[in-house]
Amino acid sequence: MSPTNQPLIIAGRSFRSRLILGTGKFSSPEAMRAAAEASGAEIVTVALRRADLSGRKDPFANILEFISPEKYLVLPNTSGAMNADEAVRLARLAAAAGLPKWVKLEIHPDPRYLLPDPVDTLKAAEVLVKEGFTVLPYLNADPVLARRLQDVGTATVMPLGSPIGSNRGLQSRDQLRIILEQATVPVVVDAGLGAPSHASEAMELGADAVLVNTAIAVANDPNRMAAAFRLAVEAGRAAFEAGLAPHQDTAAPTSPLTAFLD
Amino acid sequence: MGNPSAPSQPPPSTPAAFVIANGRRLECPLPCSLAELLVAQHLPPRSVVVEHNGQAVAPSEFARHQVQSGDRLEIVKIVAGG
């Protein structure tokens, strides 16, 4: 596929790939590294967790040995934070670790649906933007909240397609369309993209990028799935830039409707 | 009237020095630097970040930060996640 799609620009930084990869749920750090390579992603998310102080060996001991900050923009998420205060603390810890001062702001206190808390997300976004972070907030596909987050200066908005790990695609598409119409920052559809066709659909609607984790990590062949998502994102974006034909209620013939044999 | 042959009482014990690390009491010889504490816990200093009494501390500062008894530490690693 010819790489003529326009670059993605977030906070003044240019990216060729519009597929952001999450690193969770892979069978091994090596599998994760290989899938990242196959995906063509340039931005890769990581998380922060309390270190195990019991002395047991931690298999994911040093993820930065597998995802090099030289090669990727390593984007810490604040997943695990139950409220704005914890999210802000995690972001500051990630910055202290030497990661770029970017943060995927993710606050989902309810473990059953992992839906992002809108109130604390907005509170934390405001604090972190003021502290000079490039903030990429994860939110439900709420167009009003998306505008509020833009207004406090987030670098993107990241509305969900469907709940994390549910693989149900763009259940939020009606709301996403409104966000896409009104956004003044890049829109990254994040969560619930279970198949490459879901990613393509998001890009065809006009999303600037997508974030995928589960669908690639749990595939039988994560490298092939990563490559499939890469193609899907490129195809969807190319279609969007090329100009999709409009929906209509009635048919519009493609062959002449004159009498065939007069 | 004390009995000269009775065993002497042990001296009053000094309370063990401890910090609250990741929400749990951790006894350790104090004072020491953050770097020394991490090494004593078998945590390579480069693999973690630490919040010391609410303040995020960069690994380059670990040797300079002194830990006192009762300090609160959050010792955090970068791990896989979406």
- pLDDT (tens digit, 9 = 90+) per residue, A183-194? 999 999 999 999
Cβ contact, residue pair B76, A90, below 8 Å: yes
Residue A214: its chain B contacts at CB < 8 A? 82
Cβ contact, residue pair A53, B48, below 8 Å: no
Q: What is the largest CA-CA distance in chain B?
A: 73
Strand partners, A136: A104
A22 → closest Cβ in B56, B79, B82: B82
Among A65-69, A176-180, B6-10, B54-58, the range scoring the smallest mean pLDDT is B6-10
B77, B47 Cβ separation under 8 angstroms: yes
Query: Which percentage of chain A shows pLDDT scores above 70?
Result: 97
pLDDT confidence of residue B51: 95
pLDDT confidence of residue B10: 58
Cβ contact, residue pair B81, A23, below 8 Å: yes
pLDDT confidence of residue B4: 59
Cβ contact, residue pair B77, A48, below 8 Å: yes
A8, A15 Cβ separation under 8 angstroms: yes
pLDDT confidence of residue A180: 98
A104, A77 Cβ separation under 8 angstroms: yes
pLDDT confidence of residue B27: 86
pLDDT confidence of residue B8: 64
Averaged over A215-224, what is the pLDDT? 98
B40 touches chain A (CB under 8 A): no
Cβ contact, residue pair B81, A45, below 8 Å: yes
Reported ipTM: the value is: 0.87
- pLDDT (tens digit, 9 = 90+) per residue, A123-166? 999 999 999 999 999 999 999 999 999 999 999 999 999 999 99
Averaged over A84-92, what is the pLDDT? 97
Q: Considering only alpha carbons, which residue of chain A is nearest residue B38? A: A53
pLDDT confidence of residue B6: 57
To test the contact with chain B by mutation, choose from A48, A64, A160 the residue with the greatest count of B C-beta atoms within 10 A, namely: A48
Averaged over A72-77, what is the pLDDT? 97
Query: Which percentage of chain A shows pLDDT scores above 90?
Result: 87
* Three-class SS of chain A: CCCCCCCEEECCEEECCCEEEECCCCCCHHHHHHHHHHHCCCEEEEEEEECCCCCCCCCCCCHHHCCCCCCCEEEEECCCCCCHHHHHHHHHHHHHCCCCCEEEECCCCCCCCCCCCHHHHHHHHHHHHHCCCEEEEEECCCHHHHHHHHHCCCCCEEECCCCCCCCCCCCCHHHHHHHHHHCCCCEEEECCCCCHHHHHHHHHHCCCEEEECHHHHCCCCHHHHHHHHHHHHHHHHHHHHHCCCCCCCCCCCCCCCCCCCC
Cβ contact, residue pair A26, B22, below 8 Å: no
Cβ contact, residue pair B74, A50, below 8 Å: yes
pLDDT confidence of residue B41: 87
Q: How far is B66 from chain A (nearest CA, A)?
A: 17
Q: How far is B8 from chain A (nearest CA, A)?
A: 38
pLDDT confidence of residue B82: 86
If one compares A3 and A30, the residue with the highest pLDDT of the two is A30
B69 touches chain A (CB under 8 A): no
Under 8 Å CB pairs connecting chains A and B tally to 104
Identify the segments of chain B with pLDDT beneath 50.
none
Residue A208 φ/ψ region, left for φ over 0, alpha for ψ in the -120 to 50 degree band, beta for the rest:
alpha
* Res. A262 pLDDT band, cuts 50 70 90: low
Averaged over A201-216, what is the pLDDT? 98
pLDDT confidence of residue B23: 92
As a whole number, the mean pLDDT across chain A is 94
Q: How far is A192 from chain B (nearest CA, A)?
A: 12
Q: Considering only alpha carbons, which residue of chain B is nearest residue A93? A: B56
pLDDT confidence of residue A163: 95
B78 → closest Cβ in A64, A79, A89: A64
pTM value?
Answer: 0.91
- pLDDT (tens digit, 9 = 90+) per residue, A28-63? 999 999 999 999 999 999 999 999 888 776 655 678
B73 touches chain A (CB under 8 A): no
B21 touches chain A (CB under 8 A): yes
